[in-house]
Structure 1
Amino acid sequence: MSSLGASQAAAGASSADPIRVMVVDDALVIRGMLSRMLEEAGDISVVASAGDGERALAQLKRNPVEVVVLDIEMPNMDGIEALPKIVSEHPNTQVVMASTLTKRNAEISLKAMELGAADYVTKPGSTGELRSADEFKRELVEKVRSLGKAARRRAGRLAPKSTTFRADPSRPTAAVPLQAKGREIVLRPLKPFRPDALAIGSSTGGPQALMRVLKDLGEVRQPIFITQHMPPTFTTILAEHIGRSTGRKCVEGATGMAVESGGIYLAPGERHMLIRSSGGRTVIELTEDPPENFCRPAVDPMLRSLSAVYGAKLLVTILTGMGSDGVKGGKVCIDAGAQVLAQDEATSVVWGMPGAAAAAGICGAVLPLEKIGQEIRRFAVDGGRP
């Protein structure tokens, strides 16, 4: 079947049908384990599997799916070689990379996301990461489920809920994305101010979004604090990628590290990153407190700590990601007088975190990715003047 025929076949199915998945891994035992975990979710069906990228591509022509779980290291054609072909030939299909947790595979996984993969999972028992099979299963199922829905929207099988964004009459609405009537999200007034710090939270699709926002933002004097849901090693590599991409120093936060003007600080994997005032200095503190929203690092604790230090002089941005991390912390920030921006549904890989923030009524603007960096800069440099 051609890719066009595959798309038509996929479009003919009901959006209530189980999400169709292909598992690609050279190890038969791993394919079996992943397939069982996904099938047990009830709303996911593993309809195909393959031992290498070449066989996966051949199967995709005959058996269209919405999500491919793709191993990196395989014989004949590995995952990084197969990925661009999948993305090109099956543009509505979402790809989740699966790998062991090593520095090399972290590099490859981030490269894969630049090439079109939507997300990644690290296999249980990976070196350097102690995680249970239950934790891995929850993560795998949630990502496949969310990305399956995103694939259906791409294919036109599951239309985004129509949304009206209603702004306070006291603020300009030119930047507000207005859609057809349906659910209504009320935007808070965006008042002119120049923040002393910038905060960004992200998850699924976040690395790509972060690169775009930080490039568009350019040089600013304010420190930037980022929590991206990622395991150790991956956050180390992400910090390096951000530094190379932006030409600015980006580091993983460390306990006792002094916050400097213009610095970019990324929460390290398996640690919550908090910001404290100490002896007249602003410093970073890492904790191993329990996960919040099933995540460590999590956005909420970072935002609560930033609110305590910066109060009304904080600008928060919530980018693409699953779940609702950032909403509770964002409410704390709003109550202290800070302001919140969010990425819109059309440009988000998954409109979970930004959608939850918008629905909670804490956002001053909901914008496409290509406008977010410019909007942050408008406040950071120009004080929010039009």
Structure 2
Amino acid sequence: MRPVRTIRVLVVDDTIVYRKAVSDIIEEIPGAELAGVAHNGKIAMAKIASLKPDLITLDIEMPVMNGIEVLQEIKRQRLDIGVIMLSTLTAEGSDMTLRALELGAFDFILKPQQSANQQEGKRQLKSLLQPMIEAFARSKTAAHLLTGRSPSQRPVPVKRPIPAPAATDQRTGFQARVSERRSRSEIVVIGVSTGGPNALGQVLPGLPADLGVPVLIVQHMPPVFTRSLAASLDKKCPLTVKEAVEREPLQPNVIYIAPGGKQMKIIAAADGANRIIKITDDPPENSCKPSVDYLFRSIGDYYVNRATAVIMTGMGSDGTKGLQVLRNKGTRIIAQNEETCVVFGMPKAPIELGLVDTIVPLNRIADEIVKSVKM
């Protein structure tokens, strides 16, 4: 494993409480070094020029020059620097955060409420910020998100997975032998995290309006933000994109995004023939809510040999256990390649375990999905 270099961080926030808390956290993180602080965007740009940090933590709402304007200026100057946004849990904050991600921010974290206990708030911030900084340090593409430099889009060969055992389809009651002679996929499920909004913004517009199947997505995001993400993607896609709601029947040519802070799965409708969405308040899995594993597990029994699963950029390993279940149910599994992942976390273990059928760059994922449902 190559050594992780020290990451120099500039903290930018107009609130002294957060500025101090984040600065203290940076100094506690191994491999991170506090480069300096700034209380507005204009001062931040001057300090970026003089201090040359690797990464900045950036408040969105600031006087003089806000976080979005800072990102636009960094992008205009094509500076090699990473950005983690600090956002508020509001509709306006979620819209601005999505805009920041579109501009090339690495990721975002929510600010704890100022009314919360100060030590607890700092603990929450550190639990979110430390793995994010560590992931940034390991990422091959994160440093170029704002410059627009394209990572490799070449295909990657994949070893043929081990054949899976027979599985029982709950719709028909028959046992089907999982093999490479699968049927046309009748549903698509996608799991994604860090780098996901931009990745989805490239993949989903490539799906045709007559795709003919429903698409279910888990993107790791808090409440409110998934609604903003769905609205933003809906404007870009031929298919309808919406945040999923409880007991909603699955419809073809609709993309359903799991609501933040909830778990999403599919269950049988009352007639036993159709499928509906179930939204629950079940506990987090892999510290995630919504969880990719939670959704993926629910797909297998209803779509033996007739599903496509896609695992994309993101920190951690959420999705791996669900893909093991789906592999045994004959699901086609597509993984995003390392070169085009912002963070090669979620696809890594499934690839290494031989669970995937196809490893492709981001710009090939839509084509692979269409191929699986139009065969």
TM-score by length of structure 1 reads: 0.83
TM-superposed CA distance for 1:133, in Å, is 4.5
Point out the more displaced range, 64-73 or 313-322: 64-73
Partner of 2:309: 316
TM-superposed CA distance for 1:362, in Å, is 0.8
Superposed CA offset, 1:152-171 (max 9, x none): 8758xxxx9xx98443399x
Partner of 1:238: 229
- Cα pair distance change 1:134/1:193, threshold 3 Å: farther
Superposed CA offset, 1:160-183 (max 9, x none): 9xx98443399xxxxxxxxxxxxx
1:354 aligned to 2:347?
yes
Q: Distance in 1 between matches of 2:74 and 2:326?
A: 42
- For 2:244, give the aligned amino acid: G
Q: Contact 1:209 / 1:369 at 8 angstroms: preserved in 2?
A: yes
Q: Distance in 2 between matches of 1:138 and 1:42?
A: 13
**1:137 counterpart (108, 111, 126):** 126
1:247-258 alignment, distance < 5 Å: 247-258=238-249
Q: Distance in 2 between matches of 1:319 and 1:147?
A: 16
Q: Distance in 1 between matches of 2:189 and 2:85?
A: 28
- Equivalent position SS for 1:371: helix
Partner of 2:257: 266
Partner of 2:203: 213
Point out the more displaced range, 192-201 or 226-235: 192-201
- For 2:201, give the aligned amino acid: M
- Equivalent position SS for 1:199: strand
Q: Contact 2:208 / 2:238 at 8 angstroms: preserved in 1?
A: no
1:303 aligned to 2:303?
no
- Equivalent position SS for 1:353: coil
1:16-27 alignment, distance < 5 Å: 16-27=4-15
- For 1:224, give the aligned amino acid: V
5+ unaligned residues in a row in structure 2: which ranges? 145-151, 163-177
1:108 aligned to 2:101?
no
Partner of 2:279: 286
Q: Distance in 2 between matches of 1:151 and 1:313?
A: 35
Q: Contact 2:141 / 2:339 at 8 angstroms: preserved in 1?
A: no
TM-superposed CA distance for 1:102, in Å, is 0.8
TM-superposed CA distance for 1:17, in Å, is 3.8
- Equivalent position SS for 1:290: coil
- Equivalent position SS for 1:310: coil
- Cα pair distance change 1:132/1:60, threshold 3 Å: closer
Partner of 1:3: none
- Equivalent position SS for 1:65: coil
- Equivalent position SS for 2:29: coil
Partner of 1:194: 184
Q: Distance in 2 between matches of 1:345 and 1:205?
A: 13
- For 2:50, give the aligned amino acid: R
Q: Distance in 2 between matches of 1:134 and 1:306?
A: 36
- Equivalent position SS for 1:167: coil
Q: Contact 2:283 / 2:289 at 8 angstroms: preserved in 1?
A: yes
Point out the more displaced range, 267-276 or 192-201: 192-201
Q: Distance in 2 between matches of 1:153 and 1:282?
A: 39
Partner of 2:139: 150
Partner of 2:169: none
Q: Contact 1:307 / 1:333 at 8 angstroms: preserved in 2?
A: yes
5+ unaligned residues in a row in structure 1: which ranges? 1-13, 171-187
- Cα pair distance change 1:77/1:336, threshold 3 Å: same
Q: CA RMSD in A?
A: 2.6
- Cα pair distance change 1:203/1:164, threshold 3 Å: closer
- Cα pair distance change 1:52/1:151, threshold 3 Å: farther
1:161-180 alignment, distance < 5 Å: 165-168=157-160
Q: Distance in 2 between matches of 1:165 and 1:258?
A: 38
TM-superposed CA distance for 1:15, in Å, is 5.0
Q: Distance in 1 between matches of 2:193 and 2:107?
A: 9
- Cα pair distance change 1:261/1:152, threshold 3 Å: closer
- Equivalent position SS for 2:338: coil
Q: Contact 1:343 / 1:368 at 8 angstroms: preserved in 2?
A: yes
Q: Distance in 2 between matches of 1:67 and 1:239?
A: 28
Partner of 1:63: 51
**2:31 counterpart (22, 34, 43):** 43
Q: How many residues end up aligned between the 2 structures?
A: 344
1:315-354 alignment, distance < 5 Å: 315-354=308-347
- Cα pair distance change 1:154/1:26, threshold 3 Å: closer
TM-superposed CA distance for 1:16, in Å, is 4.1
**1:29 counterpart (6, 14, 17):** 17
TM-superposed CA distance for 1:296, in Å, is 0.3
Superposed CA offset, 1:328-360 (max 9, x none): 001100011111111111111111111222122
Partner of 1:80: 68
TM-superposed CA distance for 1:53, in Å, is 1.3
TM-score by length of structure 2 reads: 0.85
Q: Distance in 2 between matches of 1:65 and 1:121?
A: 19
